[in-house]
Amino acid sequence: MKQLSLMIDLSRCIGCSTCIVACRNYHEIIDHTRAMPNGIPYYLRVENRERGTYPNVAVDSWVMPCQHCPEPKCLPSCPEGAIGKDAQTGIVRIDREVCNGCKTIPETLAAEKTKAAPCMAHCPTHINVQGYLGLAAKGKFPEALALIKEENPFPAVCGRVCYHPCETHCNRGEIDEAVSIRAVHRFLADLDGKAETRYVPPVRDRKAEKVAVIGSGPAGLTCAYYLAREGYGVTVYEKAPVIGGMLTRGIPAYRLPRDVIEGEIGAIRDLGVEMKTGVDFGKKITVAKLRKKRYRAFFFAVGTQVCKELGSEGEGLKGIHPAYEFLIAVNSGKPPVMGKRVAVIGGGNAAIDAARSARRLGAEEVFIAYRRSLEEMPAGEEEIREAEDEGIRIETLLYPARFIGEQGRVKAVEFIRMRLAEPDESGRKKPVPVPGTEFARPVDDVIVSIGQETDWSCLTPECACTITGTGTLRVDPVTLQSEDPDIFAGGDAVTGPRSVVEAIAAGKRAAVSIDRYLKGLDLRENRERDWTDTAKVQKEKYDPAKRAVMPLRNPKERSGTFDEVAAGLSAEAVMGEAARCQSCGCACIQSCPYGVIQYDGGRGYSHKCDLCFERIHVGDLPVCAETCLTDAITFGEKELVRRKVEDMGKEVLKDLTRESILYVR
């Protein structure tokens, strides 16, 4: 038997719900004595669509079943192995005897189990954290990593430098402490570090269209990763002599070792992505020239390379280093010679990185001057704590009024004390100088880290896209498409300096848009998802358990070397830590991009359409197809159904992908 599927003709569906009633009755998933018509779980459901979105759809309501995806995300996400795919028919089924509702308590939290867990909801890339923690708790490490790589091609990078909003919002904190999600993430990724065993996802059918990615930071490489997986020919153009952007040039090796970055870039190369370095895009190679070579789309992920200036007197003196240029020199193995006393101006992670790097280069006294209070400091708490452990002082409410030089070189900084007034446009309290509080402090070197801007010389006159007043490229916030239909942009070039994981999320979003653009599909359809997370947790089921602590090298030893500071967790610690996860939602429901998996709170398991598996094996139709009053539902072998759809010749059937509104799965 070949793979089977359903097709629902939206021009015939009248939203009468006859199929829904028949489905509920046949599968006995409704208690008619107490259930409201649409207030209980069911396989089929009626969805409302905006009239006019699809010209061939006669009504606003239509029926949506499980799509029985060719590559179902629910299957690998289940830590219990309760979901399987029938080899003959391709039908995805849930074994009710094995499913435990992700540790649910029967009769409780049914509504909450259908929502996203807060870790997934607040992760910019929306990784199924609960799913991979469940797999890791059972020692299914390769399966857990594969699940991560569905949403993020840089697990080893993010396992080290992500600011982990998943942990900030973890419900486990209501019992004791948040799950150490990032540490588990890192352990899983590090198992994949060797090239001979590296996980490289399969590539779908190769396509003729070519895409150019300008910039090889996390946003650009992520976009290339997902487009290559879809089969497109992708070329990445990088101005610098090395691939990686801020990963390789901005983040020091003690936080992010070079071999870790290269390993994950290697996996992207293995997908067939071509990478070219030393290319000053906008000069010899331009958008116009690549269009002539039949490149069909462009993604600009050029980041922010130009360091902002303070505007303080004496800023041009020798010994004053822009932080990004300083970190590039350090990471390229050609650091400047530092004096004994170093001041760092700024409060972000780059300022912390610069200060800790200066310490490793031999500076005896390093202090950070920040114009706001410690509470407003944007650097991560862990980074601040580790810097202080290494003897770096953080002095707040200070601003460099001017730099004092001698024979052209900085010798001191005149600071002025600040006070905090009402919040500014950033939402943080505005720092205001306090007159008469100036004082000088001797220094040998100063590193200025107050942010960066984008150099847009890569955009040539044939590009219609425009720059905003803040120096970022103007794009649609949902699709990341510019005024030039074939030009997309994302990452720091659009948002200004942000985190690595936010850049990765932008690259993934752009890849989806470019794929749709090249297929002639609606770029905005179904792009926005409700990420309301679970509000309640099952505190009574869990005893307090200590959070696994990431082991760090001794501060005195590590401050003299660029070797990695964090040592990583053991396999035993990872399994124990992952087991602390409360499974706030259902992993399968969170993984489903169509929202068709349901949860039965009374029985404590998830369920979904299985095309009436028992009926079709004896030659009967699924009950929905058998009872449909308008013959809107067609059932049969997938390819035969596909041909029937193609023969109908409707505009809405132009491309039968997972985003198609006439479901053929």
Q: Give the mean model confidence (pLDDT) for residues 242-267.
A: 95
Task: Give a yes or no: residue 374 inside a domain.
Answer: yes
The alpha carbon of residue 158 and the mean position of all alpha carbons in its chain are separated, in whole angstroms, by: 10
Task: Give a yes or no: residue 92 inside a domain.
Answer: yes
Last-in-domain residue among 400, 434, 453: 453
CB 113 within 8 A of CB 601: yes
Q: For the beta carbon of residue 294, count every other beta carbon within 10 angstroms.
A: 10
Tell which residue, 506, 493, 500, 510, has the closest CA to residue 244. Answer: 500
Question: Residue 140 belongs to what domain range?
Answer: 120-198+538-578
Note the pLDDT of residue 60: 39
Residue whose tokens read 């109908």? 648
User: Could you tell me the pLDDT band of residue 256, with boundaries at 50, 70 and 90?
Assistant: very high
Among the residue ranges 34-38, 262-266, 365-369, 633-637, the one predicted with the least confidence is 34-38
Percent of the chain residues past pLDDT 90, beyond the cut: 62
Q: Which two tokens stand for residue 177?
A: 């402490």
Task: Give a yes or no: residue 271 inside a domain.
Answer: yes
491, 398: one domain: no
249, 130: one domain: no
Report the alpha-carbon distance of residue 337 to residue 384 in Å, rounded.
Answer: 24
Residue whose tokens read 């944007």? 378
Q: Give the mean model confidence (pLDDT) for residues 571-587.
A: 93
Q: Give the mean model confidence (pLDDT) for residues 319-326.
A: 95
Report the alpha-carbon distance of residue 593 to residue 66 in Å, rounded.
Answer: 11
Q: Which two tokens stand for residue 641?
A: 């159904």
Note the pLDDT of residue 34: 45
Task: Give a yes or no: residue 29 inside a domain.
Answer: yes
Last-in-domain residue among 492, 519, 546: 519
CB 49 within 8 A of CB 650: no
Residue 334 is which amino acid?
K
User: Could you tell me the pLDDT band of residue 55, with boundaries at 50, 70 and 90?
Assistant: very low
Note the pLDDT of residue 45: 58
CATH code of residue 509: 3.50.50.60
pLDDT at residue 656 tops 50: no
pLDDT at residue 649 tops 50: no
Task: Give a yes or no: residue 527 inside a domain.
Answer: no
- List, in order, residues 6 or more apart from 160 with CB less than 8 Å away: 182, 186, 255, 256, 260, 566
Greater model confidence, 574 or 12 = 574
Note the pLDDT of residue 1: 47
Report the alpha-carbon distance of residue 285 to residue 16 in Å, rounded.
Answer: 57
Q: For the beta carbon of residue 621, count every other beta carbon within 10 angstroms.
A: 16
User: Could you tell me the pLDDT band of residue 59, with boundaries at 50, 70 and 90?
Assistant: very low
- As separate numbers, helices (DSSP H) first and strands (DSSP E) second, the chain gives 24, 24
Residues 423-460: b if buried by 16+ CB within 10 A, e if exposed: eeeeeebebeeeeeeeeebebbbbbbbbbbbbbbebbe
By CB atoms closer than 10 A (0-12, 13-18, 19+), residue 656 is: middle
Report the alpha-carbon distance of residue 195 to residue 665 in Å, rounded.
Answer: 35
Note the pLDDT of residue 424: 80
Instruction: Summarize pLDDT for 282-292 with one digit per residue, the tens.
Output: 999 999 999 99
141, 70: one domain: no
- List, in order, residues 6 or more apart from 385 with CB less than 8 Å away: none
Alpha-carbon dihedral sign for residues 92, 98, 101, 106? positive
User: Could you tell me the pLDDT band of residue 572, with boundaries at 50, 70 and 90?
Assistant: very high
Note the pLDDT of residue 43: 66
pLDDT at residue 652 tops 50: no
Report the alpha-carbon distance of residue 67 to residue 594 in Å, rounded.
Answer: 8
250, 171: one domain: no
Among the residue ranges 67-71, 346-350, 352-356, the one predicted with the least confidence is 67-71
Strand 233-237 with 633-637, pairing: unpaired
Note the pLDDT of residue 25: 84
Strand 445-448 with 341-345, pairing: parallel
Among the residue ranges 98-102, 111-115, 513-517, 603-607, the one predicted with the least confidence is 111-115
Greater model confidence, 71 or 665 = 71
Mean of per-residue pLDDT scores for the chain = 87
pLDDT at residue 36 tops 80: no
Note the pLDDT of residue 191: 87
Phi and psi of 547, rounded to 5°?
Answer: -70, 140
Q: For the beta carbon of residue 586, count every other beta carbon within 10 angstroms.
A: 30
User: Could you tell me the pLDDT band of residue 637, with boundaries at 50, 70 and 90?
Assistant: confident
User: Could you tell me the pLDDT band of residue 107, with boundaries at 50, 70 and 90?
Assistant: low
User: Could you tell me the pLDDT band of residue 605, with boundaries at 50, 70 and 90?
Assistant: confident
The DSSP result for 80-147, as a single string, is T--EEE-TTT--EEE-TTT--TTTPPTTS-HHHHTSBPHHHHHSTT---HHHHHHHHHTT-HHHHHHH
pLDDT at residue 259 tops 70: yes
Residue 239 is which amino acid?
K
Instruction: Summarize pLDDT for 14-25 with one digit per residue, the tens.
Output: 777 788 788 888
CB 189 within 8 A of CB 569: no
Residue whose tokens read 């942000």? 498
143, 237: one domain: no
Task: Give a yes or no: residue 204 inside a domain.
Answer: no
Note the pLDDT of residue 71: 83
192, 215: one domain: no
**What residues does 365 pair with on adjacent strands?**
341
Report the alpha-carbon distance of residue 136 to residue 134 in Å, rounded.
Answer: 5
By CB atoms closer than 10 A (0-12, 13-18, 19+), residue 408 is: exposed
CB 368 within 8 A of CB 388: no
Distance separating the N- and C-terminal Cα atoms of the chain: 15
pLDDT at residue 558 tops 90: yes
pLDDT at residue 49 tops 80: no
318, 442: one domain: yes
**How many domains does the chain fold into?**
4
**What residues does 415 pair with on adjacent strands?**
400, 439
Instruction: Summarize pLDDT for 168-213 with one digit per residue, the tens.
Output: 999 999 889 999 999 999 999 998 876 667 888 889 889 999 999 9
Select, from the ranges 23-32, 146-155, 639-648, the one with the highest average predicted confidence (pLDDT): 146-155
pLDDT at residue 617 tops 80: yes
CB 103 within 8 A of CB 582: yes
Note the pLDDT of residue 542: 77
User: Could you tell me the pLDDT band of residue 544, with boundaries at 50, 70 and 90?
Assistant: confident
178, 65: one domain: no
Report the alpha-carbon distance of residue 221 to residue 205 in Å, rounded.
Answer: 20
In terms of residues, how long is the chain? 665
pLDDT at residue 246 tops 60: yes
Q: For the beta carbon of residue 613, count every other beta carbon within 10 angstroms.
A: 14
Last-in-domain residue among 423, 453, 483: 453
CATH code of residue 68: 3.30.70.20
Phi and psi of 165, rounded to 5°?
Answer: -65, -20
445, 313: one domain: yes
CB 223 within 8 A of CB 329: no
By CB atoms closer than 10 A (0-12, 13-18, 19+), residue 371 is: buried
Q: Give the mean model confidence (pLDDT) for residues 593-622.
A: 86
Among the residue ranges 95-99, 111-115, 226-230, 378-382, the one predicted with the least confidence is 111-115
Q: Give the mean model confidence (pLDDT) for residues 596-606.
A: 83
User: Could you tell me the pLDDT band of residue 530, with boundaries at 50, 70 and 90?
Assistant: confident
114, 125: one domain: no
By CB atoms closer than 10 A (0-12, 13-18, 19+), residue 107 is: exposed
Instruction: Summarize pLDDT for 435-494 with one digit per residue, the tens.
Output: 999 999 999 999 999 988 888 989 888 898 999 988 999 999 999 999 999 999 999 999
239, 297: one domain: yes
15, 55: one domain: yes
**Angle at which helices 258-270 and 218-229 cross, to 10°:** 30
Note the pLDDT of residue 651: 43
Task: Give a yes or no: residue 351 inside a domain.
Answer: yes
Report the alpha-carbon distance of residue 541 to residue 209 in Å, rounded.
Answer: 53
In the 8-state DSSP scheme, what is residue 171? G
- List, in order, residues 6 or more apart from 149 with CB less than 8 Å away: 155, 199, 201
Task: Give a yes or no: residue 203 inside a domain.
Answer: no
Report the alpha-carbon distance of residue 161 to residue 543 in Å, rounded.
Answer: 30
